[in-house]
Amino acid sequence: MLGGGHGITAFGIELFAEGEEIAWAQALGQLHSPIAWILTVLIVGHIGMALIHHFVKRDDTLKRMV
């Protein structure tokens, strides 16, 4: 938000005023969403594989993880 020149307001209180665009901050901001999705996929995949080991393969991998 700040890199794009937008201010931040919460509950009617201005936390950061609007300003000029910051190129490097705007570039990093564009990476936020893809990185969040990659992390989500990795977490769901990790949980899924742990459950497969526990219920399908019936080994003690999940017990060792907990």
Instruction: Report if pTM > 0.85.
Output: no
Per DSSP bridges, beta strands 8-10 and 13-16 are antiparallel
**Residue 2 falls within a domain, yes or no?**
no
**Domain limits for position 38:** 23-64
Q: How far apart are CA 57 and CA 2, in angstroms?
A: 49
Residue 7 lies in a domain: no
Which residues make beta-bridge pairs with 51? none
33 in a domain, yes or no? yes
Residue 1: pLDDT above 70? no
pLDDT in tens, 9-63: 899 998 988 888 888 888 888 888 899 999 999 999 999 999 999 999 999 888 8
Question: For residue 53, is it within any domain?
Answer: yes
Number of independent structural domains in the chain: 1
Residue type, 56: V
**Tokens found for residue 59:** 């080994």
- In 3-state terms, what secondary structure has residue 31? helix
